[in-house]
Amino acid sequence: MHTAATGRYCCPEEQWLLRQPGEPEDPVFPSLRGGPLSADALQRLVSRHVATACKTCHSLKGKSVSPHALRHAVAMSLPQHGVDLSVIALWLGHESSETTQIYLNADMHIKQRALAHANASGVVPTRYKLPDPLLVFLERL
């Protein structure tokens, strides 16, 4: 979207902020009364939109989708898109980047890329596949 005020194109986030009345310190997503959304109100919004999405995305049915789950999913995807850990820590409001390190530790794709670069033989490592009897045993647990 091109804005007359700035003379340049804006991304959707900037468009939203330009349309919001109020001061910079006001909530970006205000409640009906103009204050910040409560945790309950945010959960109701997420639940309503998940219910709508379930109509076309059947894989969502039966899944627990919460604001925290969405926050976690975004935080997990940011390192894959090259966002620095310190930036993610600031965005999440973590006091220490050590807390944010959990997201990198849980990311199997990053681990696989690191292993691929660590192999001196030049052979691309494959993912370990459990033998069938072990899979059967584990599935019975």
pLDDT at 55: 92
Cα–Cα distance between 42 and 36 in angstroms, integer? 10
Q: Give yes or no for residue 36 having a pLDDT over 50.
A: yes
In single-letter form, the type of residue at position 42 comes to L
pLDDT at 33: 87
Q: How confident is the model at residue 73 (pLDDT cuts 50, 70, 90)?
A: confident
pLDDT in tens, 42-69: 999 999 999 999 999 988 888 889 999 8
Q: Is the pTM of this model over 0.85?
A: no
Side-chain half-sphere CA neighbours of 9 within 13 A: 2
Q: Closest Cα partner for 99 from 119, 126, 81, 72?
A: 72
pLDDT at 48: 94
pLDDT at 137: 76
- CA dist 111 → 29, 74, 91, 106, 115 (Å): 36, 18, 23, 9, 6
Q: In what helix (H) or strand (E) does residue 13 lie, and over which residues does it extend? A: helix 12-19
pLDDT at 130: 63
Q: Closest Cα partner for 88 from 98, 96, 78, 80?
A: 78
pLDDT at 9: 67
Question: Which is more confidently placed, 33 or 109?
Answer: 33
Q: How confident is the model at residue 38 (pLDDT cuts 50, 70, 90)?
A: very high
pLDDT in tens, 19-30: 877 787 888 888
